Amino acid sequence: MNIPSPTQFTDDSHYQNTIIKYSRRLIGYFNYGTDERRMNLGNLQHPNKNGFADCSSLVWLVMKQAGYNVGQTAFSTPEMENDAKNAHQYFRQIHAKNVKPGDIVIVNVGTGYGPNGHTAIIDGSYHGRKTQIIEIGGIDPMGAVHRSTIAQSFQSLLKEGSITYARPTK
């Protein structure tokens, strides 16, 4: 597996966005887990490094830690896309040219569940598919939270799926 080293990424320490701050703190945390295991995060303010999460529960946790009102149960990837495009309770869809650190990228194929969907946190300036992200799953489907790029992590989904960029709403 070709996971980029941390030195290949842009220094984003100057970002003031709370979503970026909280997501960076979770790099190296969690095992990938789906279904009932995806919420085995431990204490929300002090997560269990050896707990479990999936891509959408990671986004939910980071938003919760950053003070967003996201309810008590983690999102699913298709629910995130639907909310961004319609209800705007947690997200609002944005155009790619407006993407900035702390925004969310969502790609769904068909129903968007399981291997048919993925989501991640934008972790740098927008550079199309070379944009840096923080995720769990993706190119390292069983590993911990890590950095990657949209192209590396979403490549199989990008062939068939629709890409949605979303900004979390307070």
Q: How far apart are CA 7 and CA 18, in angstroms?
A: 22
What pTM was computed for the model? 0.89
- Nearby residues of 127 by Cβ (< 8 Å), 6 or more positions away: none
CA distance 53 to 41: 6
Residue 161 dihedral angles phi and psi, to the nearest 5°: -90, 165
The CATH number given to 18-168 is 3.90.1720.10
Lowest pLDDT segment from 12-21, 78-87, 94-103, 149-158: 12-21
Distance CA 92, CA 129 (A): 21
How far is the C-alpha of 15 from the C-alpha of 60, rounded, in Å?
20
Element (H, E) at 151: helix 150-158
Confidence at residue 150, expressed as pLDDT on a 0 to 100 scale: 95
Give the residue extent of every domain in the chain: 18-168
Beta bridge partners of 52: 31
CA–CA separation, 90 and 153 (whole Å) = 24
What lies within 8 Å, CB to CB, of 128 at 6+ separation is 96, 150
Q: In this predicted structure, what is the pLDDT of residue 2?
A: 46
- 3-12, 43-52, 115-124, 132-141: range with lowest mean pLDDT: 3-12
